[in-house]
Amino acid sequence: MFPPSTRCPGAHVLASTLATVATAARVDGCGLILVANGTPHAIGGSDPDGRLLERAQVAIGSGPAFRCMVSGGAVPVRDLPACYPHGHPELAPSAGRVRAVLSVPVLIGRVVTGSLDLYDLEPHDWPPARLTAGAELAEVIGSVLNLLAGTSEPVSSPISGVPR
């Protein structure tokens, strides 16, 4: 494959993918939570806001990502500080600047493996077309994870790949 001088961590590929997904979805950012051994892990986000949102949800064990992973369906939230079900007031104080959130399930095969959380810093509704786009992008994230899972090396250590 590529010579040693062009090695890069596989995690960088996912970080870059999340940033590209945010651009494609035309949102301010996105984050990812994945489940391993029944435990949710805040993987991170396209920016610090995304990382904070995912860490907050995992820390308090609540939020649109959890509803999404339990139901297996998309969960649109108009404004986090608003009352449930339009918001998640218990999460809002820990979620920084994030206001509108759309959580869509990430599936590998037919198994819900996590939640892709698209968000904006202004409150708004999520029309059906954006729910469709979110679902398609969650499928792309699933494909990237499936490909990355094929490596025998941990993604946190340098492995060969395309220089970014």
Which residue ranges make up the site for other proteins (CB under 8 A)? 1-2, 8-18, 20-21, 23-24, 26, 34-37, 41-48, 50-51, 108-109, 111, 113-114, 129, 132-133, 136-137, 139-140, 143-151, 154-156, 159-164
We find the least distance from the C-beta atom of residue 135 to other proteins, in angstroms, to be 9
Task: Between 79 and 133, name the residue whose CB sits nearer to other proteins.
Answer: 133
We find the least distance from the C-beta atom of residue 85 to other proteins, in angstroms, to be 26
Task: Between 62 and 160, name the residue whose CB sits nearer to other proteins.
Answer: 160
**Residue 28 three-state SS:** coil
Task: Between 34 and 102, name the residue whose CB sits nearer to other proteins.
Answer: 34
We find the least distance from the C-beta atom of residue 62 to other proteins, in angstroms, to be 19
Q: In which residue are the tokens 């892709």 written?
A: 116
We find the least distance from the C-beta atom of residue 8 to other proteins, in angstroms, to be 7
Report the interhelical angle of 128-148 vs 10-25 (nearest 10°): 170
We find the least distance from the C-beta atom of residue 9 to other proteins, in angstroms, to be 7
Distance CA 137, CA 80 (A): 22
Length of the chain: 164
Task: Between 87 and 134, name the residue whose CB sits nearer to other proteins.
Answer: 134
Task: Between 72 and 85, name the residue whose CB sits nearer to other proteins.
Answer: 72
Q: Return the HEC string of 81-144.
A: CCCCCCCCCCCHHHCCCCCEEEEEEEEECCEEEEEEEEEECCCCCCCHHHHHHHHHHHHHHHHH
- CA distances (Å), 24 to each of 30, 108, 120, 127, 136, in order? 11, 21, 14, 16, 11
